């Protein structure tokens, strides 16, 4: 009869019962003060204790190993455990299953039940694993067996049964639990069970409890990266919450790797805040730890460039990572988004084709195909593939946003709002879903709802030029011109530090020009519109119409007529430009008639009054200003008709000041 091994507690990992290190010293994972002999030799070498089953024959081991790690002969069960474990590591599942079953019959040990359950789990027999691990009361009492049984139920998507097995809350939670260190160097089983609890809640759409479970997992053991990754990649926390959270973690669990883990986690956090800290962490990881070419460090830099709208450099880094690992799915969202923004349709097609050929069941594949079809304006096909991605993974936030975009592109606002709202629940820590919701409500003229969503987005990120532009548009429509000007100026300031495309600048300058026009700051408005024409390097009929309106208000009818002719040359069916041109021609005609009448009434001697000979050289020169003829008051009075005309343009659907709403809607996307 073999004596049962100790089972791990919630503070231990599965390394505690691994047959590879079970008989080693308890402080094997404590970093010694001086360099120590290599604890793990290369598998297959002459000195490997893994293959040297007879621990009593020290002839095959070096002298210092034999002296430092006194060993005892292996029992029959221990030799079988090593056999089972090696077969499992080499994916010989039938072998591992056959030997593991014999070991369990010999020992009836919960630890051996756990390892046999691992064989079933890794070979995809989840139901069999669960049945084995819950077949005896002593197995159910084992923390490791309960953990693996719950994971098997999660794989079977039996969420309620899995939650019943591990509990709705952490049963091991105590105030001092987070400070307990494990001696084996692995991940605490308590943390792993908290992570599973988070998975269950996420799949039940209980995202608040999922977030708390993931946070607890990382607090229990900082080495539980799975939970940390779920928190960051799914934006469960706002940027400020993320930066506050990492200051509460107990990095001592990582022993002498505490600084490295803290730097790595810092590099993963939101790039909306604390840019200097991110760059400092990145610099240390590159220079001191020589991780500058590591894919995850490069990906963190790509994330930073992406939020800066620096799509060119972001794409370059993504392609650099793909050259080393073409199936790295972590960078796919950034890579696909950059290709879409830069018009890389051919590369999008190639990547979508590769993914479909090699990973037909991965939701990222169908996201890539959907983005490709969206880039070539095949909205119906794009929607179909985004929908398939959400079916494969109902919590795939990027696919939901793409799905919503297809409705927004067709003006189906209600369906778009529904999809964006679900994405908001999936990504509570990012500002984009709320931004898109605000834009949809703005297009539906629901100004109050639009303002509410946009301000919620602003609380998360206050540096996105698109968001600031939309807020300015909201307040423009609400006749709050001071607030509108403030947000447009903020948008210009934010865009100044981004490598953004020209469309961003054009929209902001154009909208700011409309604010100044509405506020009767005509020369500042004219400056903005001229800036738009200068940046865009091509004429836009809407901007030209707005510029013509400014000159019309300033009384420069000739300039207004010239510019409005240019607008109609670009867009002959532009009703706003046609209306403005008609009014400008009429105003110019009236002005000329008034001018001629004023001249006739004064009975001016034009040659005498207009010019006089210079006494010395007989050159005709203009009269001084005080000598110029003065027009009668009837002309000055009638010149107010220009202001009256400009005011008339603000009234009625057929008047030209309708371009207020029309142009602002266009610039608002």
pTM: 0.75
Gap between the Cα atoms of 563 and 547, Å rounded? 7
Q: Where are the alpha helices (DSSP H) in 497-632?
A: 502-518, 522-536, 541-554, 557-570, 575-602, 606-610
Task: Indicate the CATH number for domain 365-587+658-667.
Answer: 1.25.40.10
Q: Which residues pair with 612 in a beta bridge?
A: 621
**1-32+64-229 maps to which CATH number?**
1.25.40.10
Length of the chain: 669
Compute the distance between CA of residue 485 and CA of residue 492 in angstroms, rounded to an integer. 11
**Cα–Cα distance measured from residue 587 to residue 195, given in angstroms and rounded to the nearest whole number:** 74
Q: What are phi and psi of 620, to 5 degrees?
A: -75, 135
Q: What is the DSSP letter of 237?
A: S
Give the residue from 550, 545, 553 showing the smallest Cα distance to 576: 545
Sign of CA dihedral 157, 161, 165, 171: positive
Report the Cα–Cα distance between both ends of the chain, in Å, rounded: 76
- Phi/psi at 142 (5° precision): -75, 125
Is 366:392 a contact under the CB 8 Å cutoff?
Answer: yes
- Phi/psi for 8 (5° steps) reads -70, 150
Q: Which residues contact 515 (CB under 8 A, 6 or more apart)?
A: 472, 476, 481, 484, 485, 488, 525
Tens digits of residue pLDDT in 539-580: 778 888 888 888 888 888 888 888 888 888 888 888 888 888
Q: At what angle do helices 541-554 and 575-602 cross, to 10 degrees?
A: 20
| Domain 1-32+64-229 identical in fold to domain 365-587+658-667 | yes
Q: Which residues of the chain are under the pLDDT cut of 70?
A: 1-5, 8-17, 20-72, 175-179, 497-504, 537-538, 592-669
pLDDT of residue 11: 63
Quick one: which H or E segment has residue 612? strand 611-613
pLDDT at 633: 34
* Structure tokens, 633: 């008051």
Residues 6+ apart with CB under 8 A from 155: 121, 126
Dig out the tokens for 624 from the structure: 């001084």
CA distances from 223 to 192, 241, 330 (A): 10, 20, 20
In the numeric block, which tokens belong to residue 300? Answer: 């963190």
pLDDT (0 to 100) of residue 101 = 96
CB 68 within 8 A of CB 57: no
The full set of domain ranges for the chain reads 1-32+64-229, 365-587+658-667
In this predicted structure, what is the pLDDT of residue 531? 85
In SS3 terms, 178-214 reads as HHCCCCCCCCCHHHHHHHHHHHHHHHCCCHHHHHHHH
What interhelical angle do 332-342 and 345-358 show, nearest 10?
150
C-alpha dist (Å) from residue 528 to 468, 513, 516: 17, 5, 9
Other beta carbons less than 10 A from residue 6's beta carbon = 11
Q: Rounded to an integer, what distance in angstroms lies between the CA atom of residue 664 and that of residue 180?
A: 60
């Amino acid at each position: 009869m073999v004596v049962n091994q100790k089972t791990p507690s919630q503070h231990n990992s599965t390394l505690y019962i691994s047959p590879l290190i079970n008989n080693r010293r308890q402080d094997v994972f404590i970093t010694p003060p001086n360099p120590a002999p290599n604890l793990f030799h290369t598998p297959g070498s002459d000195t490997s204790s893994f293959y040297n089953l007879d621990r009593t024959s020290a002839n095959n081991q070096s002298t210092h190993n034999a002296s430092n790690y006194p060993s005892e002969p292996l029992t029959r069960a221990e030799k079988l455990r090593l056999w089972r474990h090696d077969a499992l590591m080499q994916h010989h599942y039938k072998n591992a299953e056959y030997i593991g079953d014999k070991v369990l019959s010999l020992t009836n040990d919960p630890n051996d039940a756990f390892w046999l359950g691992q064989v079933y789990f890794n070979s995809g027999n989840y139901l069999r694993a669960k049945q084995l691990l819950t077949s005896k009361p002593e197995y159910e009492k084992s923390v490791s067996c309960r953990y693996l049984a719950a994971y098997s139920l999660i794989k079977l998507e039996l969420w309620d049964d899995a939650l019943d097995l591990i509990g709705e809350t952490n049963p091991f939670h105590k105030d001092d639990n987070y400070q307990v260190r494990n001696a084996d160097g692995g991940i605490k089983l308590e943390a792993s069970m908290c992570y599973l609890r988070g998975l269950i809640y996420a799949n039940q759409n209980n995202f608040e409890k999922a977030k708390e479970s993931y946070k607890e997992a990382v607090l229990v053991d900082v080495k539980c990266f799975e939970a940390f990754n779920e928190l960051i990649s799914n934006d469960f926390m706002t940027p400020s919450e993320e930066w506050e959270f990492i200051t509460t973690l107990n990095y001592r669990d990582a022993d002498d790797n505490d600084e490295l883990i803290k730097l790595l986690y810092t590099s993963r956090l939101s790039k909306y805040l604390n840019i200097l800290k991110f760059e400092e962490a990145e610099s240390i990881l590159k220079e001191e730890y020589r991780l500058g070419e590591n894919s995850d460090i490069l990906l963190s830099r790509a994330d930073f460039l992406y939020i800066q709208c620096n799509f060119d450099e972001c794409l370059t880094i993504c392609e650099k990572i793909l050259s080393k690992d073409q199936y790295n799915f972590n960078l796919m969202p950034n890579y696909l988004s950059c290709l879409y923004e830069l018009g890389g349709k051919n590369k999008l097609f190639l990547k979508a084709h590769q993914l479909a050929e090699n990973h037909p069941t991965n939701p990222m594949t169908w996201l890539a195909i959907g983005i490709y079809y969206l880039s070539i304006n095949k909205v119906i096909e794009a929607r179909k593939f985004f929908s398939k991605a959400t079916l494969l993974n109902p919590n795939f936030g990027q696919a939901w946003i793409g799905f919503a975009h297809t409705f927004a592109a067709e003006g189906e606002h209600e369906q778009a709002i529904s999809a964006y709202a679900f994405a908001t629940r999936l990504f509570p820590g990012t500002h984009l879903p709320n931004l898109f919701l605000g834009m949809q409500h703005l297009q539906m003229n629901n100004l109050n709802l639009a303002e509410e969503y946009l301000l919620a987005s602003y609380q998360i990120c206050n540096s996105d030029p698109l968001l600031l532009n939309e807020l300015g548009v909201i307040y423009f429509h609400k006749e709050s011109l001071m607030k509108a000007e403030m947000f447009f100026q903020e948008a210009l300031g934010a865009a100044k530090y981004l490598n953004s495309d020209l469309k961003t600048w054009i929209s902001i300058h154009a909208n700011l020009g409309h604010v100044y026009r509405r506020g009767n700051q005509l020369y500042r408005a004219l400056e903005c519109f001229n800036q738009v024409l200068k940046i865009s390097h091509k004429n836009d009929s809407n901007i030209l119409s707005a510029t013509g309106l400014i000159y019309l208000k300033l009384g420069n009818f000739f300039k207004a007529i010239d510019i409005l002719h240019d607008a109609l040359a670009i867009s002959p069916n532009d009703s706003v430009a046609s209306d403005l041109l008609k009014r400008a021609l009429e105003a110019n005609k009236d002005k000329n008639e008034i001018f001629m009448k004023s001249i006739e009434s004064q009975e001016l001697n034009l040659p005498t009054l207009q010019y006089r000979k210079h006494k010395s050289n007989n050159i005709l020169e203009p009269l001084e200003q005080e000598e110029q003829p003065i027009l009668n008051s009837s002309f000055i009075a009638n010149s107010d008709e220009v202001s009256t005309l400009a005011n008339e343009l603000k009234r009625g659907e057929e008047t030209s000041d309708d371009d207020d709403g029309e142009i602002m809607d266009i610039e608002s996307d």
